[in-house]
Structure 1
Amino acid sequence: MKPLGLTALMVIASSLTACTPSSMDQPQISEPDPELNFVRPYRGAGDTCQLVGENAFTVDFLDDAADLVACSTGTDDSASLAASEAARVVTQTNSYTLYSVARR
């Protein structure tokens, strides 16, 4: 069996990278953590997810038919909010994921 030439290796490498997601396909979160106006725990006293009020950062995400809720990204409370409340992610910062939760 003959060894592959440099050109053949480059073609193979190029086709392999076309099949794998690049870092450009992944969301890049570089938004610094804003000052959030936390109102109260969202689902109860022990909930780390917080109802968020209006300020310069959140004004574009508020909806009169939904609650804006911030959870620390990657926490169990964040995952359970997304699953149990059908919450929709509206933005993410370095530390927080902000969800829109429709009022029933």
Structure 2
Amino acid sequence: MRALSLLVALLPLAACGQPAPPGPTSLPLMGGYRDPADPCRRVGEDAFTNQFLDDAADLVACPAGMENMGVFVTETGARRLTDAAGYTLFSVPR
């Protein structure tokens, strides 16, 4: 019985280890990053993206699973930050 009481007492603490809720369903996307037809887009500021903004880098979103993502990373020196709303967010140094 004591074990059951202890289990019931600790049950609320188990919720503390839950993963963070998913990110937003949309992002404040702007024009193409390297040119207007580029699938990677600059990202504006909102309540979600402000945690990733940096004065020395651009925040860029590329479609998740983009075929040439490795080329983008190599050419721009991008650093992967997170995935959100179907995009992978990168910090690209200026």
Would you say same fold, with TM above 0.5?
yes
1:85 counterpart = 2:76 = yes
Question: Which residue pairs with 2:46 in the alignment?
Answer: 55
In the alignment, is residue 100 of structure 1 matched against residue 88 of structure 2?
A: no
Q: What is the RMSD of the two structures over their aligned residues, measured on CA atoms?
A: 2.0
Please identify the structure whose Cα radius of gyration is greater.
1
Alignment of 1:67-82 (within 5 A): 67-82=58-73
> Could you list the per-position Cα deviations for residues 50-88 of structure 1 after superposition, in whole angstroms to 9, with x for gaps in the alignment?
000000110000001100000011113433221211100
User: TM-score, normalised on structure 1?
Assistant: 0.64
8 Å contact kept, 1:49–1:77: no
Q: In 1, are the aligned partners of 2:78 and 2:93 still within 8 Å (CA)? A: yes
Q: What do residues 24-64 of structure 1 show as CA deviations (whole Å, max 9, x unaligned)?
A: xxxx9x73443211121001121100000000110000001
Deviation larger for 76-85 or 94-103: 76-85
How many residues end up aligned between the 2 structures?
A: 75
Counterpart check, 1:66 vs 2:87: no
Moved more, 44-53 or 88-97: 88-97
**Please, which runs of 5 or more residues in structure 1 have no aligned partner?**
1-27
Which one has a larger percent helix, Structure 1 or Structure 2? 2
Q: Percent identity?
A: 43
